[in-house]
Structure 1
Amino acid sequence: MALILGIIQILKPDETEKFVQLLTANQSMLYAYIRSLLPNSDAVQDVLQETNMVLWRRSAEFKEGTNFVAWACKVAYFQVMAFYRDNKRDSMVFNVELVSMLAKQNEEKLAGSHDLQQVLSRCLTKLPEQSRQLIQKRYAPGGSVQSIAAEQGRSVGAISQMLYRIRQLLQECVQKTLASEQGE
């Protein structure tokens, strides 16, 4: 407990809040990463909990603006390796080299999805306000084409067509942005 209080004192309140937001927003991604490296779902929960504790203890080391997911996955990787080290008598333990190979592949996939999310966010900001609001309404919890159509007094078909065109614009923007970034 003293350690957590010490970390909270090191981090400024807004930094603590941002870190907690990053940590909670990426729990499912961390879970999936750890799950890909461990065969036992009970072990996954234990390692995830340990990973969260280590991330929290080391939160002051995280540099804002860097890739949180990559950093968190590296911590999770070391927690998975510690789990295997501590449970090497278990007959279901994977080969360490296999785990390392799986971890590297999964880190690359997660890093790529993080980059894709950033590109998509930038492309969303380029949309006209009305289009951005329509996308936000559609993908908000409980959002549906039917509810938007009723709210705007338009047909479901008209809203569907508008969303289709917006998605096409977003797809083109993402593809162009990724192509230009890879060409650099």
Structure 2
Amino acid sequence: MDEETADKHEIFLTLFTANEAAIRAFVRRMVPTRQDSADVMQGIALVLWRKFHELDDRDGFRKWAFSVARYESLGWLRDKCRDRHVLSEDVLNVVAEESARRESWLAEQRDALDACLEKLPQLQRQLVLAAYAPEAEIQQVAQQSGRTVAAFYQWLHRIRLQLVECTRRTLQAEGCHE
């Protein structure tokens, strides 16, 4: 691989990884399941890489990536349209437009929540993240915490309330409004 290609790879990977969570969240709002969004994300990553040379302004990567994600998601949904549980294209266009419009607010919320999670004691943070990990089994996480399942749910509810309040205060302090 020559140096120019290596630089191109590095720039793409830097931009993609910096925006992947937001793109994934955008796709997740459009497709029915996490597995579906993982499938769509693979296609999006390929399209973004193949068309990266067409991007003139690197500062516009996120907007461009959202546009690609929108078309890839709609294409995937069209292919699945025989399923009765898929929304009409008009509804999906509204969802896509609203998701793109709200993305900066959602990114601010994610950042605030991440900051609040960091404030939790390490063991509490680990348990919260374990409870929300894909395919987590609450019985195992509750056992890990030394609580019954019912007691763990109560504890988790209290922690969630603390995180919601912390996130609200953080956003308010930063002057963020929807």
Q: How many percent of aligned residue pairs carry the same amino acid?
A: 25
> 59, 62, 72: which is aligned to 2:58?
62
Question: Which whole-Å CA distance do the structure 1 matches of 2:50 and 2:163 have between them?
Answer: 37
Q: Structure 1's 146 and 183: CA in aligned 2 closer, same or farther, altered over 3 A?
A: closer
Q: Structure 1's 70 and 115: CA in aligned 2 closer, same or farther, altered over 3 A?
A: farther
Q: Decide which moves more: 49-58 or 104-113.
A: 49-58
SS where residue 182 of structure 1 aligns? coil
Structure 2 match to 1:39: none
Question: Which whole-Å CA distance do the structure 2 matches of 1:49 and 1:147 have between them?
Answer: 34
Unaligned runs of 5+ in 2: 32-39, 73-89
Q: Does residue 140 in structure 1 map to residue 136 in structure 2?
A: no
SS where residue 166 of structure 2 aligns? helix
Question: Which whole-Å CA distance do the structure 1 matches of 2:45 and 2:12 have between them?
Answer: 19
> 11, 17, 27: which is aligned to 1:21?
17
Question: Which whole-Å CA distance do the structure 2 matches of 1:180 and 1:23 have between them?
Answer: 25
Q: Structure 1's 52 and 23: CA in aligned 2 closer, same or farther, altered over 3 A?
A: farther
Aligned pairs for 1:95-174 (under 5 A) are 105-174=98-167
* Structure 1 contact 11–60 (Cα < 8 Å) conserved: no
Q: Does residue 52 in structure 1 map to residue 48 in structure 2?
A: yes
Q: Structure 1's 176 and 58: CA in aligned 2 closer, same or farther, altered over 3 A?
A: farther
Unaligned runs of 5+ in 1: 36-43, 81-93
Q: Which residue type is aligned with residue 17 of structure 2?
A: Q
Length-normalised TM-score, structure 2: 0.58
* Structure 1 contact 10–60 (Cα < 8 Å) conserved: no
Provide the aligned length of Structure 1 versus Structure 2. 149
> 6, 15, 19: which is aligned to 1:9?
6
* Structure 1 contact 69–110 (Cα < 8 Å) conserved: no
Question: Which whole-Å CA distance do the structure 1 matches of 2:29 and 2:4 have between them?
Answer: 27
Cα distance, 1:122 vs. partner? 1.1
Q: Structure 1's 31 and 154: CA in aligned 2 closer, same or farther, altered over 3 A?
A: closer
SS where residue 167 of structure 1 aligns? helix
Q: What does the per-residue CA deviation read over 1:48-72, in whole Å, with 9 as the maximum and x for residues that have no partner?
A: 5895246633679536xxx964452
Structure 1 match to 2:168: 175
Structure of higher CA gyration radius: 1
Length-normalised TM-score, structure 1: 0.57
Structure 2 match to 1:86: none
* Structure 1 contact 51–76 (Cα < 8 Å) conserved: no
In angstroms, what is the RMSD of aligned CA positions? 4.3
* Structure 2 contact 117–125 (Cα < 8 Å) conserved: yes
Structure 2 match to 1:38: none
